[in-house]
Every structure is written in C-alpha cells, then in structure tokens.
Structure 1
Amino acid sequence: MSTGERPEMDVPAELRTLENDPLHGDARVAKYFGDTYPRVLAFAELLADQGVLRGLIGPRELTRVWERHILNSAAVLPFLGEGTIVDVGSGAGLPGMVVAAMLPERQVVLVEPMERRTAWLFEAAERCGIDNAIVVRGRAEDVRESVEADVITARAVASIDKLVKWCAPLLSDTGRMALLKGKSARDEIERAKYVLRRAGLVGEAHEAPTVAGVDPTTVVTLSRV
C-alpha cells in the first residue's frame, strides 16, 4: 500500500521521472530483478509519473522511488511460499503490483476498497503488462466469501493485531501472512500475541536485504501453529 491518503497535487513533469532517483539505471538494481526488470521498471516509471498526481505517494518520495517503494516491496518475495497471493489494502500497488511483476506465473489478487485506487491498479496492470494481477474492490472483511489466500501481504495498512482480525478469515488451512513492517516489528508482534494465539498463528520478524547499500526491509511472517 502507499502511505496514508494524500490530496492530489500538481507536480512539474520534469520532476515526475525516475531520472531524479540515484538508484535509477544502477546495474545492481537491474541484476537484482533479472528477467523481471522490464515489468518492474515499467511500473516504477508509471508510479513516478502518476503517483503524486493521484495522491499515491508524496512529492519528496520521487527521489527514492526505487529504495522506498520498489525494492522495499520486492523484499517480501523470499517469504511468500506457494499458492495464491493476496495483497490487502494494495493502494498504489505496493507490494502487490511489484510482487505480480516479479512472479508472472503466480496469481496475485490486489484487494483495495477505494474506487480511484482500484482504477489506478487496473490501469497500471494493463499499461505495464502485469497480466497476473487481479484487482478486487473491497475491504478484507468484505471479500471473505470470494477470496482465499495461501499467503497475504500488506504494507502500511494497519497494526499486526488489526490485520490478523481482518485477514485471518481469508487464509487457507495452511495459509500464512508476510507483512512489510518497520523497525518496531518485534514490539508489534509482542503487542499482538493474544490475537495471534486466538488465531492459531505465530509471528517472527526477519531482516530482508535487497541491493547492497540499501537498508534491509523488515518482514513479519505469521504462520500456522
């Protein structure tokens, strides 16, 4: 998901480009994404061009789209396991659209309640050739009858205890969650311990590096006991 709701604003075209991002064109980034780089690049370029205009990212983030959003989202991949991926509160498509771009053989469902954001997700998937992204409008609580997940992802949506209450009913019998979190992830797990216990889940925080020189991301996995 993007960070919190932002008003749409005008930004000069010369600023709405990845050219202002120090990681753009870096060979390490292209190597990290490998064969999936063209799809990821297309999404990153579209996010840089349209993200601020549509209130998806802040103007100060245009100089760090790769680090703050794309690589941060990509860090969740080693924790996804097998099966259908459901990105809850997908927002700007983070991490869901990045995950779908990197795993074209997997079905990735992007669940988002806001109409204008679902419109963005449909457009981004089409324009970037990310055919395996399926956009569903609604909150996690609203789609329990139609969506089942082998793994749930979420970024900047809510605290762990709230995510478990909202999303655990979507999980398959062997399902798990892989959540992008900040440095206080372990404290969040501790605060959510009773909710996790009731849901039959156990939490663990992992350091998830991507490209050398970029701070690692923290991923919290919630697995069946």
Structure 2
Amino acid sequence: MQSEEYRSRLVDGANQLGVSLIEPQSSQLLSYLTLLNKWNKAYNLTAVRNPEEMLTRHLIDSLSIVPWVKGENIIDVGTGPGLPGIPLAILFPETRFTLLDSNGKKTRFLTQCKLEMGLGNVTVVHGRVEEFKPQQPFDQVISRAFSAIENMVGWCSHLVDDRGQFLAMKGVFPEEELTSLPDGYKVEQSHSLEVPGSDGERHLIIIRKTR
C-alpha cells in the first residue's frame, strides 16, 4: 500500500487541509494503512473494508483536526484501531499520545502498530475510560465517534484540569447533544471540516471546563 497513487492521494488530501506531509510521515501513514487493512481482514477492526475508503474516511479524516491539536500530553478515548491517535502521533512525534479502548482486539492491534512502526510516543491502554487513572492531567482529550458529548465530558472529566480541552470529532453538527452539555462546561470553538474525498458533514467541537 506504499504505491505512488496512494501516496499522491494522501499528500494531496493533506495539502487541501493545510497539512504538509514530509518524509517519513507519509510513508508511516501508509504503513499504518497497510497494517490496518491486513489486520481488519481477520479481526474486524473497522466496518470500512476498502483500503481506498480507509485512506479518505480514516487517514485524511484524522488529519483534518491537526490545526487544533496542542499540548504535550494527549489522550484519544475510544480510539478503536487508533483513529485519530495513530495518524496524529505520526505527525506530532514530540507529543505523548495515550490510546485507550475497551476492546482487546483493537488494543492488541495498536500494540503491534507501536512495535512495528517504532512509535515511542504512543502508550496503549486496554480498559474503560471511567476507570483509567492518569498520573497527570492531559492537555487534550480527543474522541472520534466515541459517544454523545454529554457522556464524553462526564466520563472523561477526571482526565483534564481546568486548562484542558475536549476535542469531539462529529459528523453533522451535534446541536441536540450540545443542549445536554452539563453545567460546568462550555463550547469554546466549533469548526466545520471540509475533508477531501468525503461527502458527509464533519465537525470539530472544542469544549472546556468553566469551573
């Protein structure tokens, strides 16, 4: 899956998002895609079966939030097969990424990715987010199709202090979910994302504690 066609589509898609991929980033992203496609055939890690669709719906979609990723210590909750955590870890090698999921098959895959790709800035955690106790607060909590925003901030509130942010990746604008946002939280920013090659709506909602 290191073909020039895939590389060209990846680099072009990233460029349209304002993300400039350099080597070895593009090669690492395609190596991850190869692993995901290979493991998916046996372990059903994602409903997307076609590697060309994976390139758009998983890789390029994950890169769409790059401008808002900040901090030294970030957690991707309900990461599944590492989305968006693995692509972001490749782009931000100086940032520590914790990838958490309760599905053992998916965390085994992530551990294999970490080993094969030499991702020293990645920590894989198999468990439920409510029970995970970090040694220090995270700068950002990221989720992609993890749960409703109300659940995200409720289950993950112990992962950040008052300076931390929640980054929720959503499809259509989650108006109803935001009306259920608990007291003590506010929407700091919302962004409509134009993901190249994707027909559906994509949004990023950034939330912060107010207390």
TM-score (norm 1): 0.79
Match of 2:57 in 1: 68
CA RMSD, 1 decimal: 2.4
Shift of the 140–147 alpha-carbon distance from structure 1 to 2, 3 Å rule, reads farther
Amino acid at match of 1:178: L
Partner of 1:122: 111
Q: What residue in structure 2 maps to residue 200 of structure 1?
A: 185
In 2: Cα distance, 1:75 partner to 1:60 partner: 21
Q: Distance in 2 between matches of 1:59 and 1:88?
A: 20
Question: Does the alignment pair 1:152 with 2:136?
Answer: no
The alignment covers a number of residue pairs equal to 202
Q: Name 1:34's counterpart in structure 2.
A: 21
The runs of 5 or more residues in structure 1 that have no matched partner are 1-16
Change (3 A) 1:59 1:99: closer
Cα distance per residue 1:21-76 (max 9 Å; x no partner)? x8554251475451221221111121122223211112544330111111111112
Alignment of 1:165-176 (within 5 A): 165-176=154-165
* Sequence identity percentage: 24
Question: Which position in structure 2 is the counterpart of 1:223?
Answer: 208
Taking the aligned partners of 1:158 and 1:61, their CA distance within structure 2 comes to 25
Equivalence for 2:42: 53
Asked if the contact 2:144/2:170 (under 8 Å) is kept, the reply is yes
Q: Give yes or no for contact 1:43–1:124 (8 Å, CA) kept in 2.
A: yes
Which residues in structure 2 correspond to 1:72-221 (within 5 Å)? Answer: 72-146=61-135, 148-190=137-179, 192-193=180-181, 195=182, 197=183, 199-202=184-187, 204-211=189-196, 213-215=197-199, 217-221=202-206
> What's the TM-score once normalised by structure 2's chain length?
0.84
Which structure has more relative contact order (CA 8 Å, sep 6+)? It is 1
